[in-house]
Structure 1
């Protein structure tokens, strides 16, 4: 990971980013405050630090990316996190989204299928955020299967392009709970439609559709390749 100093310059760039997110339609002030409070440059390699507050995605290894801030804000806003809610995140990646959710007060369980990213992100958060996010727990596993041991969840967020809505995740959602997931549009893997699924009292699902996005593919199984460090 990159530089973990947070200078006035970086804070100023983050404030400009918040203004940009507001202009793009993000209205939840709690989400904007959380993004302001979490230094994104911490999660990027030093060579990319100068671009950390550009509203775009960057590679983080293993064919994965750190999502653009607008995407993180959009998904977080759709989740409508309440303090102490138990949240399952599918696709830890850099852990940026997970830390934003923890900053919002959620008890986050995040799954990563790549062992190298899982180890890197878990160790990074433990080292640089010390005891700030004790409710954030990391798991190595298959996101399609979720985490049955810790279910049910108040909210579930998927941060990769799903070919369909995984049935296992619906089963692990509480009644009244919400799942936010980008699903391939008409079988097209190049573009996804963001969806929010709410589980009703009778077990039926309310499906809302939002903007189109582009995510890396959601893959099953576990990649046990160890990080080179």
Structure 2
């Protein structure tokens, strides 16, 4: 069961969490405001209610996790979102990252390969707050060519390589944020698509994500 009460105590814990991630280097006030506005305990079983606002990841079933808030804020900040951007997210998971994006006023197209998580999110009443989030069940490596091109692409799992099909679904001038690597830690990369179709790649900090897998898991 989930707890959908958002008390003064929860709001106070969120404010403390925002200060923690601000001290870690997140400077975008829009990103920090989104983290403060999205009740993270809604995305976890009520047994985790006490610890939902610790800055760490938690298991959500089927080998997946809800990302550490700092990681969510870090990736979101790298995207340099503008209002009404079309954002493709690979790996819906708990939908926490999708809601942080949705809170920032962008159009979110999010893909989940785990049918169990996809079905849970379809029933998740809090998501009705965000008509700008669209959920899809599918293979993240394929993206959503029907809805392309996208202004931004966000991958929330450890990719062994940069998927070519996702690069092709980026608008010229768009950017992708993706953790790349097969070891315990991955390099966070930001890839910008130039007007001529070429790409410029930047490397940032190391993070640890669950692997990005292909196909669909019924």
- What's the CA shift for 1:135? 1.2
Matches of 1:128 and 1:28 in 2, distance apart? 25
Runs of 4+ in 1 over 4 A off after TM superposition: none
In structure 2, the residue matched to 1:197 is 191
- 5+ residue gaps, structure 2, are none
Matches of 1:192 and 1:72 in 2, distance apart? 15
- What's the CA shift for 1:202? 1.2
Output the TM-score relative to the length of structure 1. Answer: 0.94
**In the alignment, structure 1 residue 70 sits paired with structure 2 residue 70:** yes
User: How many equivalent pairs are there?
Assistant: 218
Matches of 1:165 and 1:128 in 2, distance apart? 32
Matches of 2:47 and 2:127 in 1, distance apart? 21
In structure 2, the residue matched to 1:142 is 139
Matches of 2:176 and 2:134 in 1, distance apart? 19
- What's the CA shift for 1:123? 1.6
Q: Work out whether residues 109 and 136 of structure 1, in 8 Å CA contact, stay in contact via their aligned partners in 2.
A: yes
DSSP 3-state at the match of 2:84:
coil
Matches of 1:108 and 1:23 in 2, distance apart? 28
Cα RMSD between the aligned structures? 0.8
Matches of 1:5 and 1:48 in 2, distance apart? 14
DSSP 3-state at the match of 2:203:
strand
Output the TM-score relative to the length of structure 2. Answer: 0.98
- 5+ residue gaps, structure 1, are 225-229
